[in-house]
Amino acid sequence: MKAAICYQNNEPVRVEEITIDPPGRNEVLVRMAASGVCHSDLSVITGIMPAKLPCVLGHEGAGTVERLGDGVEHLRAGDRVLLSWVTPCGVCYYCRLGDPHLCEVGAKINSTHRPADGTTRVHRNGADLQAFCGLGALSEMVVAPANACVKLPDDAPLDKAALIGCAVMTGVGAVFNTAKVRPGSRVAVFGAGGVGLNVIQGAAIAGAERIIAVDVTRRKLDFAVSFGATEVIDASEEDPVAAIRERTDGRGVDYAFEAIGRKESIEQAYAGTRKGGTCVVIGIGSRKESVSLSVFFIPVMEKRLVGCWYGGADVHRDALLLLSLYGAGKLKLDELLTRTYPLGEVNQAFADMTAGLNARGLILHPSS
């Protein structure tokens, strides 16, 4: 099988033949139909997100179960599944608390990019490879933890389902689960990439009165309007904080979302939030950067600054909810998928994402 492998930071990804082990206990072999092209994978390439290399990239995708390992009960061969890049174990402290997106086992897998037992399922020329988030979804086949596979209806479109696996789950989940946006609210979204666009459409579904998109790329701002933004701010031409306050009676928005992962935009999003409002940080930034806040104004302004990991989602619950919203015509997945690529053009897909040419790009595999 072929897979997209990152060997060196800031070097092109190489699509090469690899070997894959059969699924072990509580694992399944999935033939991929579609694999997402996500900024988190790019962060591995650039080194912003630490990962031992070489690493098979990819964490967003959907496909069909080919083979079951021992102990798998909720899936059958032939089932359509969506991959979750956080594997919920179901029994740790956070899973029992009702926060499976913070699962301790899933966090271990994500930090090592290997299954919980510390081994690996993918190899090249006898050498072990890492698989991003324990999946390595930018490949033709994946051995995944069974708990990371969400069973889909038999008629679910796998290309659209793949998008739900990360960008949609994270963006819409940030609105529904983390911020709990109220109808009639005023919202600002910093960053109109794949995740930011889904924050925008999530806010629209939640009934926000005004949705202000902030970006420096005109094409992304145009996308933002098509996904529900009521107005846009080009941060390359004007101060976004001043512009937000001007449009909100001087107070700021009820909810601000930062979907970039930069110190400056996080501070701007927080500054653009009204007293008592909520600022949600979704973007993954560098470990070397810190946000500066006034100690005096933290209690005086009574703002909430919260992080958002995977949209605060219970993936086995929320994936089906999002798919239902799509079926009802309320969630825009057809519009989100603006271009597809074969696996051999994965570097072009990353380049187009960086240039802001797509709302979301997708790798389609021959089996799809």
Q: What is the chain's length?
A: 368
Q: Which residues pair with 27 in a beta bridge?
A: 145
CATH superfamily of the 2-156+336-364 domain = Medium-chain alcohol dehydrogenases, catalytic domain (3.90.180.10)
pLDDT in tens, 270-285: 999 999 999 999 999 8
So what's the pLDDT on residue 366? 86
- Give the count of beta carbons closer than 10 Å to the beta carbon of residue 1: 14
Torsions phi, psi for 56 (to 5 deg): -75, 125
What's the confidence (pLDDT) of residue 367?
62
C-alpha angle with apex 147: 143 to 148, nearest 5 degrees? 60
Question: Where do the structural domains in the chain lie, given as residue ranges?
Answer: 2-156+336-364, 171-309
H or E segment to which residue 221 belongs: helix 218-226
Sorted by sequence, the CB contacts under 8 Å of residue 354 that are 6+ apart come out as 42
The listed CATH number (3.30.70.141, 1.10.287.3510, 3.40.50.720, 2.60.120.10) that belongs to domain 171-309: 3.40.50.720
**189 touches 326 (CB < 8 A):** no
Is there a contact between 151 and 81 (Cβ–Cβ < 8 Å)? yes
Nearest alpha-carbon partner for 282 in 113, 167, 110: 167
CA 344 to chain centre: 22
pTM: predicted TM-score of the whole model, two decimal places: 0.95
Distances from the Cα of 147 to the Cαs of 26, 64, 85, 213, in angstroms? Answer: 8, 15, 10, 35
Contact 57, 6 (CB under 8 A): yes
**Would you state the pLDDT for residue 286?**
87
**Weakly modelled stretches of the chain, pLDDT under 70:** 367-368
CA distances to 41, 192, 214 from 237, in Å? 30, 16, 11
How far is residue 203's CA from residue 209's CA, in Å, rounded to a whole number? 9
* Phi-psi map region of 158: left, alpha, beta (phi>0 left; psi -120 to 50 alpha): alpha
* The pair of three-digit structure tokens given for residue 368, joined into one six-digit string: 């799809």
259-271 tens-digit pLDDT: 999 999 999 999 9
Q: What was the pLDDT predicted at 42?
A: 93
Looking at residue 50, what is its pLDDT?
86
